[in-house]
Amino acid sequence: MSIAAPTAPTAPIETTATPAGARTDGLTRRLGLWFAHAYVLGMCATIGGAYVFQFGLWEYPCPMCLLQRMFMLLSAIGPAMIIARSRRGPVTTGEFASGWGVAIVSALVGGTVSGAQVLMHIAPGDPGYAGALFGLHLYTWAAITFFLAALAAGVNLVLADQAGPLDAAAGSPALRRAATLTPAVLAFFAVSNFVACFFLQGFHWQMPGDPTGYQFFTDLF
C-alpha cells in the first residue's frame, strides 16, 4: 500500500494594491506642490493687476509701489525654488522649509513697506496716491496681499511633514508641465518689471517720488 506524500501548503497570493494611507499621503504632497504653483502665480497676478493701472490707466507707480512689486517677486522666488528643485527629484524637508521661509521674510518686509505707505496717506482728507480698486488704493491691497501670503507660507511650514512635495516627475504629467511653465511666468514678470522701472527712471540715479511719465522717453525726446 502506497502512502500519498503530504501536499505542500499553497503560498498566499500577494496583492499589489496601494494602501489607502499611502495614496492619501501622495495626494497631500501633490497638493503641497500645486499650492506652491498657486502662490507664485497669485503673486504674478497681483503684479499683473498693477500693470493694468500702469499701462491701461496711465497711473505711474511711485518708488514705494515698485519696491512692493519687487518684494512680491522675491516672495514668489521661495516657492519657485521648491518647484525648480522638484524637477530634479524629491524635495527634502529642509529645502521645502527654506523656500517657504524666503516667502515669509519677503512678505513681511514687503508688508512693512506697504504699511508705511498706508500710514503716509492715513490722515483725514488725504486722497491717497493714484487710483483705487473697490475703495482701496493699490498699496492697501498690497498690504493685505502680503499679510495673506505670510499666513499661507506659515501654514505650509507648519504642515511641512504632510505637504512636503514629491518630485514633479513622479507626481503627474500636469505637474511636470507646470514645473516648467510657472517659473517661466515668474521670469516674465521679473524682467518686465525691471524694464518698466528702467523706463520710469531712465539713466537717473533717483526716480521722482510722484512720476508723471517715463523719464527715459522724456530725456530721449
Confidence check: pLDDT of 63 > 50:
yes
pLDDT at residue 169, rounded to an integer? 60
Residue 121 DSSP symbol: T
Confidence check: pLDDT of 204 > 60:
yes
Burial of 51 (C-beta count, 10 Å sphere; 0-12/13-18/19+) = middle
Per-residue pLDDT reduced to its tens digit, 145-179? 999 999 999 998 888 777 666 666 666 788 888 98
Q: At what angle do helices 20-51 and 93-120 cross, to 10 degrees?
A: 30
Q: Are 130 and 53 in contact (CB under 8 A)?
A: yes
Confidence class of residue 13 from pLDDT cuts 50, 70 and 90?
A: very low
Q: Are 219 and 203 in contact (CB under 8 A)?
A: yes
pLDDT at residue 37, rounded to an integer? 95
Once rounded to an integer, what is the mean pLDDT over residues 183-190?
Answer: 96
Burial of 186 (C-beta count, 10 Å sphere; 0-12/13-18/19+) = buried
CA distance to 35, 43, 71, 73, 157, per residue, from 150 (Å): 14, 12, 12, 14, 11
Tell me the C-alpha distance between 110 and 71, whole Å: 5
The set of cell numbers assigned to 160 is 511641512
Query: Between these two residues, 106 and 214, which has the higher pLDDT value?
Result: 106
Q: What percent of the chain has pLDDT over 90?
A: 42
Confidence class of residue 133 from pLDDT cuts 50, 70 and 90?
A: confident
Tell me the C-alpha distance between 108 and 116, whole Å: 12
Burial of 111 (C-beta count, 10 Å sphere; 0-12/13-18/19+) = buried
pLDDT at residue 15, rounded to an integer? 41
Per-residue pLDDT reduced to its tens digit, 66-87? 999 999 999 999 999 999 888 8
Give 81's contacts (C-beta < 8 A, 6+ positions apart): 95, 98, 99, 102
pLDDT at residue 29, rounded to an integer? 72
Q: What percent of the chain has pLDDT over 70?
A: 83
